[in-house]
Amino acid sequence: MIELRTVDDIAVLTMSHGKANALDIEFCEALARRFIDLRNAEAKAIVLTAQGKIFSAGVDLKRLSAGGANYVRAFLPSLHKLYDAVFFHPKPVVMAIGGHAMAGGAVLAACGDRRIMAREAGRIGVTEMLVGVPFPALAFEIVRFAVPPRHLAEFTLTGATYPTDAALSKGWIDEVVEPAELMTRALAAARFYAALSPMAFAQTKSQIRQGVSERMAQSGAATEKAVTAIWTQEASLARVAAYVAKTLSKA
């Protein structure tokens, strides 16, 4: 599912879970474990990338639709665990986005300290409203943190996705490079961060993300309860099934 290699002092994680790196329970748990283990590893920074033309298509909706409410109740905590492990990781995390990053995959990309995307490699955006489900608590807070406030409603309410240049101008990503230069540039960014004081970086990163921590402590549990209730409703599951059928018919 996830290949780990080390380049100098940089841990490079390459996602390889099916064609789309879709987020299911097993993949979320495995990727979260990688990030948790890297807290105590010698690597000074992390680059997360993916094989193929899709960084991550987000939640595995086909699996979710087949599993129903019981699967949803097991899946959402695993998704939260993944986002928590990546977003609050104390070491620098650089996202090397070489393809589409959709819905939960866009949220995963937003967890990074720097998001670099290959030019015209794909689109990025959160499509939850089109699927018919609300954002899990931490997922929404990560998007709120990562994107310019003036675009937050547009991104979250319309389900729009953006090609690389538009994504850069609107703040979904930090940098666009030619596809052949993606990993070179991502490693250079990781090396820059890795050269900084680890303790100073971790403390500063914690302060930057303190607002997310505080909002999650204050209202995260209540929000997650409400979100889970909506995700597990028959009407919501029917919308997910309809979206899956429509998407597959287009494919």
**Residue boundaries of the structural domains of the chain:** 2-194
The confidence score (pLDDT) of residue 250 equals: 62
Stated pTM of the model = 0.97
CATH homologous superfamily of 2-194 equals: 2-enoyl-CoA Hydratase; Chain A, domain 1 (3.90.226.10)
Q: pLDDT tens for residues 138-172?
A: 999 999 999 999 999 999 999 999 999 999 999 99
**Per-residue burial over 209-228, b = 16 or more CB atoms within 10 Å of its CB, e = otherwise:** beebeebbeeebeebbeebb
Structure tokens of 67?
A: 């599993």
* Mean pLDDT of the region 198-208: 98
DSSP string, the chain: -EEEEEETTEEEEEE-STTTT-B-HHHHHHHHHHHHHHTTSS-SEEEEEESTTEEE--B-HHHHHHHHHHHHHHHHHHHHHHHHHHHT-SS-EEEEE-SEEETHHHHHHHTSSEEEEETTS-EEE--HHHHT-PPPHHHHHHHHHHS-HHHHHHHHHH---EEHHHHHHHTS-SEEE-GGGHHHHHHHHHHHHHTS-HHHHHHHHHHHTHHHHHHIIIIIHHHHHHHHHHHTSHHHHHHHHHHHHHHHHH-
What band does 249 get if pLDDT is binned at 50, 70 and 90?
low
* Mean pLDDT of the region 221-242: 97
Q: Residue 155: how many CB atoms within 10 A of its CB?
A: 24
The confidence score (pLDDT) of residue 251 equals: 53
- Does the pLDDT of residue 247 top 90, yes or no? no
The confidence score (pLDDT) of residue 248 equals: 65
Mean pLDDT over the full length of the chain: 96
Q: pLDDT tens for residues 42-99?
A: 999 999 999 989 999 999 999 999 999 999 999 999 999 999 999 999 999 999 999 9
Sheet strands side by side (includes 114-118)? 2-7, 10-15, 45-50, 93-97, 114-118, 175-177
Q: Which of 72, 94, 91 is nearest to 25 (CA)?
A: 72
Distance CA 138, CA 2 (A): 23
Structure tokens of 17?
A: 């879970």
Distance CA 168, CA 176 (A): 7
- Does the pLDDT of residue 184 top 70, yes or no? yes
